[in-house]
Amino acid sequence: MTPDPRAHRTRRRPEGKVLVMGGGIQCALDLADTGFFVYLVDQAFTVGGTMACLDKTFPTNDCSTCMFSPKLVRVAGHPNIEILSNSQLLELEGEPGRFVAHIEKGPRYINLEKCVACGQCAEKCPKKVPDAFNGNLGLRKAAFVTFPQAVPLKYALDAENCLYLTRGRCGLCKKICPTDAVEFDQKPETMTLTVGAAVLSVGFEPALTPRHGEYGFGRYRNVITSLQYERLLSATGPFAGHLKRPSDGSTPRRVAWIQCVLSRDAARNRPFCSSVCCMHAAKQAVLTRSHLPETEAVIYFMDIRAHGKGFDDYVDRARYRHGVQYRRSMISQVYQDPENENLIIETFDHRLNRKTEEEFDLVVLSSGFQPPGSWRDLCTRLHLTVNPYGFATAPFDEPVATNRAGVFVCGGIESPKDIPETVVQAGTAAAEISILLSDARHTAVSQPKITADPTTDGEPRVGVFVCYCGSNIAGVVRIPEVLDRLRQMPEVAHAEDFMFTCSAETLDRLIEVIRKQHLNRIVVAACSPKTHESLFRDALRRAGLNPYLVTMANIRNQCSWVHPREPQQATEKSLSLILAAVRQAGYLEPLTDQRYLVTPAAMVVGGGISGMTAALTVADQGFGVHLVEQDQRLGGFAHSLTETLEGDSPQQLIRRLERRVLIHPNIDVHLNSRLTAHDGQVGAFRGVVEEAGQPEPVDYGAVIVATGGQAYEPDEHGYGKDDRVLTQVELARRIQADPDQVRGLQRVVMIQCIGSRNADFGYCSRVCCSAAMKNSISLKEANPDVQVVVLYRDLRTFGFKELYYLDARRRGVLFFRFIPEEPPRVKTNGTGKIIVDFTDRSSLHDFRVDADMVVLSAGIRPHEASGQLAGLLKLPLTPEGFFMEAHVKLQPMEFSSPGIYLAGLAHSPRFISESIAMAAGAAQQAIKVLCRNEITTSATVAEVDPDRCTACVICVRVCPFEAPFINTDGVSEIPPPKCRGCGICTAECPAQAITLKHSTDNQIEAQIKAIAAGELG
Amino acid sequence: MKLAFYPGCSLEGMARDYADSIDAVFRSLEIGLVEIDDWSCCGATAAHSLSEMMAVALPARNIAAAEKMGLDVVVPCANCFNRMRFSQAMIRKGIFDVPWSVTGKTRIHDMTRFLSRDDMIEKIRRRLLRPLSGLKLISYYGCQMVRPPRITGFTDYENPQTLDRLAAAAGADVLDWSYKTTCCGASIGIGRRDIQEALTRKLLAKAVRTGADAIVVSCPLCQSNLDSIQADAGGRKLPIFYFTEVLRLALTRVGRSQRWLRTHIADPVPLLRARRLLP
Amino acid sequence: MHDNAAHRRSARSDVNRRHRIGDRGDHFLRRVEGETGANLSACYQCERCTNACPVSAFMDVKPHQVIRYIQLGWRETLLASSTVWVCLSCEMCTTYCPNEVGVAETINHLRKMATHSTIRPKEPHLAVFHQTFLEELQRFGRVNEFWLMGALNLKPGVLKDKIRSGALRQEIELGYTLWRLGKLKLIPHRCKAVRGIRALYRNRYAEKD
């Protein structure tokens, strides 16, 4: 058993600084936002890791850079984060709370302070080398910046290729650098940092290298890895987002994906599943079909592992709407046609009883993942234990712990995982550290001084900044033409263009320009204000302007993306949109934010494992918790579970958590209770808990929704009528309770996907395949002669759970695949054997089993109480009834309503360890609110003119956030903290008594006129 | 330098030309080949198919003889090589007792692998008499030489390089192709000629698409199979060279008779003349 | 009435058509695993073997099905299959198997089982060829191609089939060509140690089925 990390807490106050090794952006932000100082150490020249390489992400097809870039900018600009790029952690001495970290900082050969990222060094550098960031598909210079949004956005010299550093010749960059930043004589430096804890989030990398020789990778030019394909798709990639194949630059007409390359492959000592490849292949195929509708996309696979929220739906859309072809067949070898470098894939066609050759222009290998190259040495230096495949897998009840107290892991290095799980674990690691170091919170950081925003105003001087967004905008809209026209407009004082206006360095330049040109109204022609406006407001604040004097023209989402084939018209439209923004800018007014105090307590709804974990995570940091449980005891859904696949006991976990929760001085436990009223705003909510019918008012600053789930009650296959038909949960209990009966069984049939993945309930329940593995292994352990037959649709033992699938097979469990159109048929008459008939899709034989027992893998459903809570808190639900998070990728634990967070089965079906991670992570998001004294709200709110209001209550009715109310004066009033600035009331008010600040009537009219007048022809 | 030499049955009959060229090449490289005294058949596919014990014991007799000689063994035939390595592996594992004393320590080399060692390649390069420039070759390894990797020791089983390196050392232009190790089906020809023809025809069609002038092989069965099947197929005929013939051409003087080059069904002489490699 | 009977008939055929699982136990699986050391149970039916196999089209039981049938204990089907004789032992299946099943070794083992069983081989010519090869080996210690073909043609039924299919003419033509090229050795070499080899044969027949 791992010792409780808090036992190590030293008497002295711990250090309030944390080391985050590896990209670790999310973890760094979660710590920095809760009062800790973070050293973000990355071996690369930039932070960002694998996500920076991705083009778009499933299941929303959001642009990866657009989601990610705001995070990069926040990290770059965060006062509590110091980035140490090109650095490695050498040693870590000391104990939790007080470590000394030895860091080696490699030479960059360019002075970070002096470099202004003008790019002249790269332009003049004569040495071209394969660009590793682009999967070596393109070239870069030896003087380079990894990608345009890199953080820090500073150039570096590649020591292995720089002519001066290797051969002492050239030195051109030094001669031309305008700031004299090139320093050829830089040497590695070592430094020591004192930190309270460390997080290792070094991520993963594709396992496939040309050395493996698999499928001709490294031999045939048109065989590439999935990560290389991301770069081919990407607008910042080697072909600027135009899909071309490497050998001849032609447009591929047929593309094949081969799944499970170096995954699920015991022969190559990689018997585990890499978890994400099924979905990213589906995404890449969908993107391919939407980029090039003529191009065929074929995926060769074994099982589709779409075990995440909404993933099956995505795969179905890929198949049936985008025409992606799925072939359930695994490939051994790829052949090349020497005449055209096309690739040939041979499969056996059972229908025709012959081998078929299919020709492809491009083959993408979905390579599995492995820890990065330097990880093994780091583990040795830090004395860390890893699993046989190099991953730092964590224990079931401590999902981010390592064998070393005070050192945590998160993300891909813990096990191969998708982005949301990585974000969750980043939060978990931050939570663990935040508990460990809670005495030192705010001690190592500079508290942001809250100063009133300047309100001074002058004659409008409008500055327009036009963004290329890489090639997202510039690939369609002719920006030089736009700039020319803008500069001719009398109302534009200054116009300028940027590659990525949102990058940290560009923002610095923008501030400089504002100051130099004395601009006081700013138009940014780029992307969506939804994602980026707050960034530019901060920039204005830093420039000494009122932050509300900026507006945006969305010439990407509303123009270049929708008119990619009409550059002339798109250029005109961009001009119109920008002109409208310029006119609006003339009416922009300085506004002032509002502030109020925070209630330092959390409301946790649901007392299962997630709820208890969330409550303890908050309470252990010194904040209050109201834990509301509907049942008469804590523990929730996990009460019905006996053992996990890995052999851990949920019952012991419940008892351990329950004991701690009940005696915790900061936790107020309400059993037999419900939250019946809820009001207020983030940081200052007020609600009513009804405990055994007694209402009691409570105040809290944040809410954590952990209402959990419940088992699906099957009505299929005679369940409930014949007691030999049971669910996996019931079988597990029976194995424990009546081992003799279980030993006497001869034949057991398990049927998967009962109540999951069908028309009534589309989700995969994620855990049932593992449950079947666990129980079939238990049955085989009790009696090796029992014949266990598992009937499945896709086996989804992702990650290291695949090892148990292998174990079950080795023990002689037989797996047969069926299709939903021909489900197994179970005949039972109460006596004799149960007859199970089915068709095996692999051999196409019809089978019959005379079974002693039929076990149904019944899925997980949301808890019935979640609907009531969703209504009360005004939270969205998915059609299946799970809570809908703010963003599937980067905000899995948040809602779009601030101050409310999500954990556990209430989000989607998941394993206990995943629920624990999510609960701690969600609690940490709540800590971001609770650890502050006061909250500032946006000034872009609706305001009622009491003189014009007729108290018609239309605003009260239409507001989705229940902000307006009729005050004691008998007119409508909108409390600024509750208003979200959506503008519905403003539009609906018949008396035109409501003004939405920052979107006033005169501003909107000016925009309409600018566009409708057609001034630009 | 001396090596024990296990020729195998084919080299006495259908692959006489292979034996001759091996002799010439090793003579020219000044490496002594000492034929294993009274060697016997390795059992080939038949022993492997019908009796595990025979499959281990038959090659073991030859391995035992080589051990007595105290020399490493070099084997030209892919199938013999595979069977000997298999036998040795099984004896090492202690699965079978054989009536001959075998320690399993003798090194058994596939001939192509032995000759493609860096020092041998260097030696070949130094002694090159007639670089085969302009001759476009593809190499074909077949199945028995490289698979299964744990027996043969070929880690690059999908894209082996030994023949490629040797042909390149002889100065030829070696082209890559994907079917280096795809089985030609020769071993099934006696009972199911239809299967043999289907497999070999496909292979030859793929070979023609590479634009190569000829194929280089090391397996006697593959050579005779590829050579004879294309005799009754239409279209362009590719000479099928033993790799030692390619080396012999590059390393030694070719007399006026060119008799040793006239042992193939697809006659290579016109091609070599066209490439100005023969007078 | 008529309908009812038809229905009953189809119901009966339904029962006959369906294979039963578990009624044979896993003795056969355990035996083959024990004798070959192959990881048969680990198979997850990905069909890499069947896709890689150059002769899967000529097999009645495809390589991945071979593994499944062993798991189900279908011994007779397997030993009577063409698969065990058509397999070239080219080892593609074994080399690319992600579960280290040893498919080629397994098929090879089934071939040996078939030889020692009473089940008539589906590909008699291939079976006879292997047999003849070993007989020739026993006779001389080495195998002479000319004598091997001669001995094979003397086996019952072989010549007749070859004449019928025209294979004999092809064979004679090829023989002539090889002789012309000096590649046909007419007089076999006899090993001195042929006695020791024959002793092996006597042991071989002591090998159990």
Q: Which of B48, B199, B232 sits opposite C54 (nearest CB)?
A: B199
> How many angstroms separate the CA atoms of B54 and B46, rounded?
9
Name every chain C residue with its beta carbon within 8 A of the beta carbon of B232: 170
Domains and CATH numbers, chain A: 14-105+188-204+371-447 (3.50.50.60), 107-186 (3.30.70), 206-369 (3.50.50.60), 462-591 (3.40.50), 597-710+862-930 (3.50.50.60), 713-858 (3.50.50.60), 941-996 (3.30.70.20)
Amino acid at A923: A
Q: Which residue among A346, A785, A842 sits closest to C51, beta carbon to beta carbon?
A: A346
Q: How many residues does chain A have?
A: 1017
Instruction: Report d(CA C113, CA C78) in Å as an integer.
Output: 10
Mean pLDDT across chain A: 92
Q: Which of C70, C89, C116 is the last residue of a domain?
A: C116
Cα A280 to Cα A305, A411, A881, B184: the distances in Å are: 11, 17, 26, 38
Q: Would you say residue B120 lies in a domain?
A: no
Beta bridge partners of A130: A139
Q: Would residue B10 count as lying in a domain?
A: yes
Do C24 and C112 reside in the same domain of the chain? yes
Chain centroid, CA A649 distance in Å? 29
Query: Where residue C93 sits, what CATH number does that domain have?
Result: 1.10.1060.10
* Residue ranges making up the domain that contains B79: 2-113
Expressed in percent and rounded to 5, the helix, strand and coil fractions of chain C are 65, 0, 35
Q: What are phi and psi of A799, to 5 degrees?
A: 60, -140
Q: Which of B156, B158, B209 sits opposite A337 (nearest CB)?
A: B209
Element (H, E) at A695: strand A694-700
Query: Strand locations in chain C, DSSP E?
Result: 19-20
Residue from the list A266, A329, A787 with its beta carbon closest to the beta carbon of C47: A329
Choose the final residue of a domain: C84, C116, C148: C116
Q: Do B143 and C137 touch (CB under 8 A)?
A: no
The CATH number assigned to the domain holding B64 equals 3.40.50
Alpha carbon B88 to its chain centroid, in Å, reads 20
Question: Does B59 reside within a domain?
Answer: yes
Q: Where are the beta strands (DSSP E) in A350-491?
A: 354-360, 362-367, 369-370, 407-409, 462-467
Looking at A78-213, list the stretches that DSSP marks H as alpha helix, in order from N- to C-terminal side. Answer: 120-124, 163-167, 172-176
Any C CB within 8 A of A447 CB: no
Assess whether B156 and B203 both reside in one domain: yes
Do residues B181 and B108 share a domain? no
For residue C2, tell me if it sits in a domain.
no
- pLDDT < 50 regions, chain A: 1-3, 5-10, 1017
Residue C179 has phi, psi (to 5 degrees) of -65, -40
For residues C104 and C163, state if they share a domain: no
Rounded to the nearest 10 degrees, how much is the dihedral formed by the CA atoms of A999, A1003, A1009, A1011? Answer: -60
DSSP class per residue in A935-991: EEE-S--EEE-TTT-----HHHHH-TT---EE-TTSSEE--TTT-----HHHHH-TT
Within the 84-103 window of chain B, which residues sit less than 8 Å (CB to CB) from chain C? 99
Residue C95 sits in the same domain as residue C133? no
Residues B108 and B203 in one domain: no
Helix (H, G, I), strand (E, B) or coil at A4: coil
Whole-number Å distance between alpha carbons of A112 and A788: 63
* Chain C interface includes B123 (CB < 8 A): no
Residue type, position C114, single letter: A
Would you say A408 and A456 are in contact if contact means Cβ atoms under 8 Å apart?
A: no
State whether B178 and A336 contact (CB < 8 Å): yes
Same domain, B30 and B145: no
Domain that holds residue C37: 19-116
A302 CB within 8 Å of a chain C CB: yes
Residue B264 domain flag = yes
CB neighbour list of residue C176: distance below 8 Å, 6 or more residues apart: none
Find, among A138, A130, A179, the residue nearest to A158 by Cα: A130
Helices C194-206 and C124-140, packing angle to 10 deg: 140
Query: Domain check: are C109 and C161 in the same one?
Result: no
Give the neighbor-by-neighbor strand order of the sheet with C19-20: A825-827, A834-839, A846-851, C19-20
Q: What is the DSSP string of A120-151?
A: HHHHH---EEE-GGGTTSSEEESEE-SSTT-S
Alpha-carbon distance of A295 to A240, in angstroms, equals 19
Q: Is residue C95 part of a domain?
A: yes
Amino acid at A383: H
Same-domain status, C29 and C61: yes
Query: Which of C116, C140, C175 is at the close of a domain?
Result: C116
Tally of domains in chain C: 2
Residue B124 lies in a domain: no
DSSP H helices, A518-608, are 529-542, 567-585
CA distance A573 to A603: 49
Contacts of A25 (CB under 8 A, 6+ apart): A40, A47, A48, A49, A71, A72, A75
Phi first, then psi, for residue A569 (nearest 5°) are -65, -35
Same domain, C131 and C112: no
- With respect to residue B223, please indicate whether it lies within any of the assigned structural domains: yes
pLDDT of residue A453: 67
- Same domain, yes or no: C100 and C25: yes
Parallel, antiparallel or unpaired: strands B73-75 and B108-110: parallel
Q: Does C5 touch chain A (CB under 8 A)?
A: no
**B218 and B176, same domain (yes or no):** yes
The widest CA-to-CA distance across chain B, in whole angstroms, is: 56
d(CA A468, CA A500): 6
Cβ of B61 and C196 within 8 Å? yes
Give the number of domains in chain B. Answer: 2
Q: Which residue has the tokens 């362009």?
A: B236
Q: Are A978 and A985 within 8 A, CB to CB?
A: no
**Nearest alpha carbon to residue A789 among A805, A801, A774, A776:** A776
- Residues C40, C110, single domain; the answer is yes
Any CB–CB contact under 8 A between B264 and chain C? yes
Cβ burial, residue B79 (10 Å; 0-12/13-18/19+): buried
Same domain for C105 and C25: yes
Q: Does C182 touch chain B if contact means CB atoms closer than 8 Å? A: yes
Using CA atoms, how far residue A741 sits from A592, A734, A746, in Å, is 73, 9, 11
Q: Is residue C8 part of a domain?
A: no
Could you say which of A333, A339, A344 has the minimum Cβ distance to residue B158?
Answer: A333
Under 8 Å between Cβ of A267 and C99: yes
Is B256 inside any structural domain? yes
Residues of chain C where predicted confidence (pLDDT) is lower than 50: 1-15, 205-209
**Nearest Cα to Cα of residue C104 among A180, A953, B82:** B82
% helix / strand / coil in chain B, to the nearest 5?
50, 10, 40
CB contact under 8 A, A848 and C43: no
Q: Same structural domain for residues C145 and C166?
A: yes
Q: Are residues C140 and C183 in the same domain?
A: yes
- Which residues, numbered 149 to 208 in chain B, qualify as contacts with chain C under a Cβ-Cβ cut-off of 8 Å? 149, 157, 182-183, 185, 187-188, 190-193, 195, 199
Could you give the CA distance from residue A646 to residue A935 in angstroms, rounded to a whole number? 44
Of A832, A7, B12, A247, nearest to C144 by C-alpha is: B12
- Which residues of chain B are modeled with pLDDT < 50? none
Is residue C69 one of the residues assigned to a domain? yes
What does each C-alpha distance from A1007 to A584, A1017, B158, C104 come to in angstroms?
6, 16, 65, 75
User: Is residue B51 domain-resident?
Assistant: yes
Q: Which chains touch C (3 or more CB pairs under 8 A)?
A: A, B
Interface test with A, best of B178, B195, B202, B213 (most A CBs within 10 A): B178
> Please, are residues B153 and B85 in contact by the beta-carbon 8 Å criterion?
yes
Q: Let me know whether C23 and C103 are in one domain.
A: yes
Flag whether the pTM goes above 0.95. no
Encoded tokens for A315? 């795969």
